Amino acid sequence: MMASQEDPGLVKKNKRRRCLSCQKLYYPHPRTRLLQKYCPELQCRAASKKASQHRWLHKPENRDYFRGPQHVSRVQAWREEQRNDGQKGLISSLWLQETITGQVVDRSGESSALALQETIERQPSGRLPESGCWVAGALQDSM
């Protein structure tokens, strides 16, 4: 059963759109094609950010967002706390992660054989023993 082109279940093809900043045609991102008005160029992204901030600041509920005595005292307290941060530089004395020191290996009582492996003695070359079969090694079960 083929779906018709008017079927709402079909994914719409991404059409090119004209950037509001540079006026060039571009393909918007498929997930945000309904919202994207600017192309992904660096200057156009900066223009998009500037326009977004302008829209936010000019909404009536946001006009006094950073004004008022409570915000002034909050910013002054923050500046006082941050006063000496410029002198510290990029590296602080407090580490977020501990450094791992190498583990010292004590080899004084260690033999040449590895602890997790058994050694298999070599069978003498030449004739078979009187039993007619080679002696079982450590990795074989005795019969």
Residue 24 lies in a domain: yes
Residue with tokens 């006082």: 80
79-124 pLDDT tens trace: 988 887 766 555 555 666 777 777 777 766 655 555 566 666 665 6
Which structural domain range is residue 42 located in? Answer: 17-81
User: How many domains, the chain?
Assistant: 1
Specify the length of the chain in residues. Answer: 143
pTM for this prediction: 0.43
Q: Quick check: is 94 in a domain?
A: no
Q: Strands, E, within 40-82: which ranges?
A: none
CA distance 116 to 113: 9
Q: Which residues pair with 18 in a beta bridge?
A: 25
Q: What residue ranges in 20-130 does DSSP mark as E strands? A: 25-26
Q: Distance (Å, rounded) from C-alpha 49 to C-alpha 42? A: 11
